[in-house]
Structure 1
Amino acid sequence: MRLAEEIINKMINDLPSVELHFNEPMGQYLYTKLGGPADVFAFPKSIEEVQAVVQASREYQLPLTLLGNGSNLIIRDGGIRGIVMSLSHLNTITVEGDVVIAGGGATIIDTSYYALKASLSGLEFACGIPGTVGGAVFMNAGAYGGEVKDCLASVTVMTKVGEVLDVKASDLALGYRTSNVGENNWIVLEARFALEQKDRQEIKAIMDDLTQRRESKQPLEYPSCGSVFKRPPGHFAGKLIQDSGLQGKGIGGAEVSTKHAGFIVNKDHATASDYISVIEMVQQTVKDSFGVTLEREVRIIGEEA
């Protein structure tokens, strides 16, 4: 336990309605199934409780880290100091006309299927992206030629001082797997997607095809963080890794997938250190072989053990 008993007791008293876990192992919450503990893991159930957690982090001078669905993240073996917050309870999804409104803690997959039920097109690409709506906005998530910025209208965010703002998508600096959400320290509370009415069966056919393609090509049988690297200009990361002869190569319990070279899998009780070492090995080998620098898409946070 890294926190003083005095702070723990104060948090319990000051946040009586917020679900709090102390010294919580984080691997169970991540798609990689690895990583060290968080000092505090908070699960607010309302915007007011999110504000309370934000204010507590400031009052106790504790760093605050937001965890989405844990699909594009590696937490180092030493874990995370301060407070980690999940918005998994802020997961309401509604439809108003041609707009789908989703809580920041809703999954982008569920949001895409709500759009399907309403015969709304534009989120088909997201039917296999295993992240939250907040995480998808944070990194402008995309797949199969589509990305969040194509259909996002606006978001409601909370600032680092607890202020709630409505922000237009055009003010989010959405680019290839990037936005200004992180640099502004914003917490995405809600997102509004402007979609287009189309035939439901046509939408479903596209989503079924994308799902089949994903399941046939991706190593879903092992824990992984998904696609590890961004697409380098003029190349495909997976092809470069494959042509470097790295499939099946690993360190410790982590290895480059034999099914899709763009994925690194937790094959046998890997540590975060194993996983990160394989990432670095891939980057160095591809650089040596082809002179191409692979930039990580996955985020790495936390402390060394």
Structure 2
Amino acid sequence: MENRRKAAGGALSMKVLTEETLKKNVELSKYTTFGIGGPAQFMVEPRSTEELREALDFAESEGLKVLPLGGGSDILLPDSGFRGLVIRFSRLSKVEVRGQRVICEAGVYLQRLLNLAAKEGLSGLEPLAGIPGQLGGAIAKNAGSYGREIVELIRSVTILTWDGEIVDTDARELSIVYRGSRIPDLGLVVKVTLELAEGDPERITAETEKFLERRKSEQPYGMRSAGCVFKNPENAEPAGYLLDKAGLKGFRIGDAAYSEIHANFIVNVGNASYGDILKLIEIGKERVKEEFGVSLEEEIVVVQDD
């Protein structure tokens, strides 16, 4: 990453970032859907690409690791916190509709995007109703549900590379696969253009509600979880089915438990710790391997404790 804002003597000259956007010792538990996570050494909430670029320069200048947090779903953070720079994208949340294309900044929450699409009579996002988190993370992890993956709707993605360059690309160049892509190796998503289809607003709203109600009935919706813990394995039954048959529904350590509703969700039912969740993950992998000979791979990001 190239430094662009070094002042005399090697110190970083903060031209854009302020104390309002760059903070120290921020408790992360209130920013994660698990409700778990200790203090971040630094946290930034950029309001523009320029602020985001300066944040990366700051991290390089100080020798800090960088962790994009987004909406705080799909991630498990240590109780000790994160020694480095955490980036939240909530202030990068502009949306523009141009015909069937929707241009969104990375911090737009998926549910807000679905509601806007329905109002504008734009179809395609309905099966994603109820998925927590923001668009940038959804693109990087190729979020999907009920037979629809978000990669199918991508027209282009704008990335701020780790070298500080702005790059416009399309999905074919990002090696997007089931619940993954090469985006984390390239940099940070800053903007996405989606191509949707014209439709009737009332029908789209009804379909969105149908998928949302289905999610509420099949998953521990509204409980503190990070979403599906494991990816569905290839050439095998879904992870939730395997975990259920291995007897893990309701299995609990401390205040962390495999959901009674869907076994591929671990929920924080009180004051669960990072260690509690990790133990449940390892037990789940061991049980499924022993029972079915299938190796499960985490879908959530597990940040290692320093």
TM-score, length-normalised on structure 2? 0.92
Alpha-carbon distance between aligned partners in 2 of 1:268 and 1:116, rounded to the nearest angstrom:
36
Answer yes or no: is the 8 Å Cα contact 2:140–2:180 preserved in 1: yes
Q: What pairs with 1:286-301 in structure 2 (closer than 5 Å)?
A: 286-301=288-303
Residue of 106, 117, 122 corresponding to 2:119: 117
The question of 1:210 aligning with 2:211 is answered yes
User: What's the Cα RMSD here?
Assistant: 1.7
Answer yes or no: is the 8 Å Cα contact 2:231–2:239 preserved in 1: yes
Residue of 262, 265, 277 corresponding to 2:264: 262
The question of 1:219 aligning with 2:223 is answered no
Answer yes or no: is the 8 Å Cα contact 2:14–2:54 preserved in 1: no
Q: What pairs with 1:75-154 in structure 2 (closer than 5 Å)?
A: 75-154=77-156
Alpha-carbon distance between aligned partners in 2 of 1:78 and 1:238, rounded to the nearest angstrom:
30
Alpha-carbon distance between aligned partners in 1 of 2:265 and 2:150, rounded to the nearest angstrom:
22
Residue of 224, 227, 235 corresponding to 2:237: 235
Letter in 1 for 2:32: L
Answer yes or no: is the 8 Å Cα contact 1:35–1:74 preserved in 2: yes
TM-score, length-normalised on structure 1? 0.92
- What's the counterpart of residue 6 of structure 2? none
> Aligned to 1:183, what secondary structure does the other structure show?
helix
**CA deviation map 1:131-175 (0-9, x unaligned):** 111000110000111011111110111011221111112111111
Distance 1:158 1:45, change over 3 A: same
After TM superposition, the runs of 4+ consecutive aligned structure 1 residues lying more than 2 A away are 9-18
The number of aligned residues is 295
> Aligned to 1:137, what secondary structure does the other structure show?
helix
Answer yes or no: is the 8 Å Cα contact 1:78–1:302 preserved in 2: no
- What's the counterpart of residue 26 of structure 1? 28
**CA deviation map 1:187-239 (0-9, x unaligned):** 10110001111122222221111011011121124211111111112311111
Displacement after TM superposition at 1:129 (Å)? 1.1
Displacement after TM superposition at 1:10 (Å)? 6.7
Alpha-carbon distance between aligned partners in 2 of 1:290 and 1:296, rounded to the nearest angstrom:
17
**CA deviation map 1:244-274 (0-9, x unaligned):** 1111112121011111111111112000110
> Could you tell me the percent identity over the aligned residues?
36
Distance 1:18 1:156, change over 3 A: farther
Alpha-carbon distance between aligned partners in 1 of 2:130 and 2:194, rounded to the nearest angstrom:
17
> Aligned to 1:128, what secondary structure does the other structure show?
coil
Q: What pairs with 1:245-256 in structure 2 (closer than 5 Å)?
A: 245-256=247-258
